Amino acid sequence: MVRVVPEGQVAFGIQLPVQAQSHRFAEPWEASAGPVEIVDVARVAEHAGFCYVAACDHTAIPRQQATTMTTTWYDTIATLSYVAARTSRIRLLSHVFVLPYLHPLRAAKQWSTLDTLSGGRAILGVGAGHVAGEFDALGVDFDARGTLLDEAIDAVRAALDSEYSSHEGKQWSYREMGMTPRPVQDRLPLWVGGSSKAAIRRAAERGDGWLPQGAPEEGMSAAIARIRRLRDEAGRSDEPFTIGALSGPLYVGEPSWDIGRAVTGSPEQVAGFLRVLAGLGVNQIQVAFRSRDAHELCDQVRTFGAEVAPLVQD
């Protein structure tokens, strides 16, 4: 099995702008931007040496939550496929894909096709979901989402690993169902998102990586130690596993505008902050930058790739 991030190194990724416009994290300029800006940022990130770009997953937002979340959430597979056709090396991550919304064979078909079309660059990041009204509209039991995700991960993993797969579970059952095209990668990476104790256990026991979403209750260091212990107990300690982290908002340099709470400063100062995360045993960090337009975001990505990322590896 090939490691996504070479052992001993730290990789960086970035959530694509525009495709998800929650007021919790989207910049005001994204509301009037579109596919051009998405591709521009993806290409700059690729040239800057980033490991991946990521896209979110929501189908429809209940009106009562739209004030904060908005209703702008581009389709994950369509967005990543569009970016795949306009890039050549950078990996394509869902952060995160809500597996309980789909039949496992449908999800496996989408991701094996994306891997084929992109030349083996897909990373399937999965999560349980959190918007109860969205589950209700799609006819999926919100309270059963964790159990559904566990079953879906097992079924999707089997379908990605073998042309013919079978599954016998509480929600889905089928025998010897064949699927091509096959993924280009020998094992398409499946990273599990979430910071709850259940999500951390799920990542350790079923995933090839962990995508924290918010700070774990026990803290990052303790969560990473628990993942390693659980993987050892599951007999998986020798398998490659990618531990992720979120940087929170960054700005390389001294901003001339109010950016709120963010880590700012020289490349060395920003790198010093990220080295703390790397020192915990993190393999990849998803970074985010404050910006007033797509040009400023691209400038931040370029500067980070050239002047900050190399310092984190030291």
54 by DSSP, 3-state: which? strand
pLDDT truncated to tens, each residue of the chain (314 aa)? 678 999 889 999 999 999 999 999 999 999 999 999 999 999 999 999 999 999 999 999 999 999 999 999 999 999 999 999 999 999 999 999 999 999 999 999 999 999 999 999 999 999 999 999 999 999 999 999 999 999 999 999 999 999 999 999 999 999 999 999 999 999 999 999 999 999 999 999 999 999 999 889 999 999 999 999 999 999 999 999 999 999 999 999 999 999 999 999 999 999 999 999 999 999 999 999 999 999 999 999 999 999 999 999 86
Q: Give the global pTM.
A: 0.97
**Distance separating alpha carbons of residues 298 and 37, to the nearest angstrom:** 10
Q: Do you find a cis peptide bond into 189, omega within 30 degrees of 0?
A: no
150 assigned to some structural domain: yes
The bridge status of strand 284-289 relative to strand 11-15 is parallel
Q: Find tokens 């499946």 and name the residue.
A: 190
Residue 296 lies in a domain: no
Residue 247 located in a structural domain: no
Alpha-carbon gap, residue 280 to 190, rounded angstroms:
22
Residue 146: closest CA among 217, 98, 107: 98
Tell me the backbone φ, ψ of residue 50, rounded to 5 degrees. -70, 150
**How many other C-beta atoms are found inside a 10 Å radius of the C-beta of residue 222?**
13
Which tokens hold the place of 313? 């590896």
Question: If you count them, how many residues does the chain have?
Answer: 314
d(CA 288, CA 54): 11
User: 281 in a domain, yes or no?
Assistant: no
Query: Does residue 4 lie in a domain region?
Result: no
Q: Is residue 244 part of a domain?
A: no
At 248, the amino acid letter reads G
3-state secondary structure 262-299: CEEECHHHHHHHHHHHHHCCCCEEEEEECCCCHHHHHH
Q: How far apart are CA 72 and CA 58, in angstroms?
A: 9
Which residues share a beta bridge with 250? 263, 289
Task: Note whether residue 279 is domain-resident.
Answer: no
Helices (H), the chain: 35-47, 63-69, 76-84, 104-118, 132-138, 145-161, 197-206, 220-233, 267-279, 294-303, 309-313
What's the CA gap between 304 and 298, in Å, rounded? 10
Q: Please give the DSSP secondary-structure letter assigned to residue 213.
A: -
**Cβ-contact 215, 224 below 8 angstroms:** no
Pairing relationship of beta strands 97-98 and 122-127 according to DSSP bridges: parallel
Q: Which domain holds residue 166?
A: 11-236
Q: How many domains does the chain have?
A: 1
CATH code of the domain covering residue 28: 3.20.20.30
Task: Tell me if 111 is assigned to some domain.
Answer: yes
| pLDDT computed for residue 1 by the predictor | 63
Residue 8, pLDDT score: 87
Instruction: Please answer whether residues 104 and 57 qualify as being in contact, where contact means their C-beta atoms are separated by less than 8 angstroms.
Output: no
